[in-house]
Amino acid sequence: MSQVLENRYEFVYLFDVENGNPNGDPDAGNMPRLDPETNHGLVTDVCLKRKVRNYVQLAKEEAAGFKIYVKEKALLNQLHELAYVNNPDIERPDKKKLPKKQEEAQKITRWMCDNFYDIRTFGAVMSTEINAGQVRGPVQFNFSRSVEPILPMEISITRMAVTNEADLQKERTMGRKHIVPYALYRGEGYVSAPLAQQTGFGPDDLELLWEALCNMFEHDRSAARGKMSARRLYVFKHDSRLGSAPAQKLFDLVRVARKDAEAKAPARSFGDYQVSVDRAGLPQGVTVEEML
């Protein structure tokens, strides 16, 4: 964490789902998220960040500097309190206020960044009753979008058990689940070197991010999510902290297409697609590495 990130990065992340719901929409009965105009599937940025957090929590087991701030049943004010407890020379101000001295306020926020991986990676708004400041994270994701339109299916299921004695005469309880038979999703993301320097996000943190993206689905299995797999991770590295080319030009170099351009049947496996990278079109000062 003491090292400074000197380069800007962008990345393209391909993952797929088979007979599962990659990201349910609570406003639509937990159906897979859709772009209503095109029927392309969507997976939110916070969905992927949640899986990264879960992987880091498993891999590092709450090691010093790698605690997770946003996790199930976390009491955020208690975590903010720790920053003041571990800096006894700083008096905690009134409710919802930061210390008046700028250097003291920065010290509180820096303690949070140094101790919580997801804060120095994704940033956080910590200005609650016990105020620990707020930071912009250097790592950001776009919404992931399916390569082709999807057609979600609603499957009826049964439960043989009942909840209470009043339901004993019922033969079974009916339920429903939503699945996508198959879809390949494409996500894109960014790593800002200037913002990394502000939060303390370093090269070791970056390697852990790549590791999480490659392996996080292996520890996130459930019947609802079906078979989800990380398929490709392409990382563009700039030779400077500000970058050598616009992100969209780099993203356009990664192309995903059906192997059989005339195929009318829907895709049902990753093998139905071909992925190519136009390495000859790389701008000067940018390299690309396939991590997966």
More confident residue, 122 or 72: 122
Q: What is the pLDDT of residues 94-139, one digit of tens each?
A: 888 999 999 999 999 999 999 999 999 999 999 999 999 999 999 9
| Residues whose CB is less than 8 angstroms from the CB of residue 64 and which lie 6 or more positions away in sequence, other chains included | 115
Check whether 158 has a pLDDT greater than 90.
no
- Residue 283, classified by CB atoms within 10 Å of its CB into exposed (0-12), middle (13-18) or buried (19+), is middle
Beta bridge partners of 222: none
pTM value? 0.94
Name the pLDDT band for 2 (thresholds 50, 70, 90): low
Q: How many CB atoms lie within 10 A of CB 44?
A: 16
Average pLDDT, the chain: 94
Q: Which residues lie below 8 Å from residue 124, measured CB to CB, with a gap of 6+?
A: 69, 70, 112, 116, 118, 134, 135, 137
pLDDT (mean) for 222-231: 96
Query: 23 near 33, Cβ under 8 Å?
Result: yes
Residue 92 has pLDDT above 70, yes or no: yes
d(CA 259, CA 292): 20
Domain coordinates in residue numbering, the chain? 9-167+174-290
Query: Does residue 204 carry a pLDDT above 70?
Result: yes
Q: In whole angstroms, what is the distance from residue 208 CA to residue 66 CA?
A: 10
pLDDT greater than 80 at residue 169: no
Distance between CA atoms of 6 and 3, rounded to whole angstroms?
9
Q: Is residue 1 pLDDT above 60, yes or no?
A: no
pLDDT (mean) for 52-73: 94
Closest CA to 288 of 9, 6, 4: 9
Across the range 224-236, mean pLDDT stands at 97
Q: What is the pLDDT, as a whole number, of residue 159? A: 79
| CA of residue 49 relative to chain centroid, distance | 2
Residue pair 7/237 in contact by the 8 Å Cβ criterion: yes
Per-residue pLDDT at 205 exceeds 90: yes
